[in-house]
Amino acid sequence: MTLLLKEPVKRVQKLLKEFDQNQEVIALDSSARTALEAASSLGCDVGAIVKSLLFKTEQKYTLCLVAGDKKASLNKIKKILNIKDASMASANDVKNVTGFTIGGVSPIGHLKNITVLIDNSLQRFKYLFAAAGHPNCIFKISFTDLTKITKGSIKELVE
């Protein structure tokens, strides 16, 4: 079975096409499970890779989109959300909330409606690369379009 026919990848592809007919999921021969692997596979700066990090925030979940060369700051996330407690979601929570496995979590196409925060450091790149539902599938998008398609809020999320 080709990777593009897997259900999570098709879910991302559908939303991309609805947003912009020219958008498409790219299946890679090599892994893009980590930001470093993705950058190596694509021949781009590791910072242009969008890490989709799911945080458990008290009674709900928040997806933080962070540059591959940066580290999310729990303190900044808690302050932005005005909450006392936040932690990385477990692999099971990631699968249940987003419908994706870790390494293939896309910024779009989640099973449940979740708040999306986008780190402002991603603005430094003309194009960004994000996971598309599988560790070997990605899509290329501008910062402006990423903000529009995710309906995310731009914040300073990194240390």
pTM score, whole prediction: 0.95
CB 117 within 8 A of CB 146: no
Which of 124, 129, 110, 123 shows the shortest CA–CA distance to 34? 129
**How far is C-alpha 133 from the chain's CA centre?**
10
Domains and CATH numbers, the chain: 3-150 (3.90.960.10)
**Cα–Cα distances in angstroms (integers) from residue 19 to residues 58, 145, 147, in the given order:** 32, 9, 12
pLDDT tens digits, one per residue of 69-118? 999 999 999 999 999 999 999 999 999 999 999 999 999 999 999 999 99
Taking only the tens place, the pLDDT of each residue in 114-154 is: 999 999 999 999 999 999 999 999 999 999 999 999 999 99
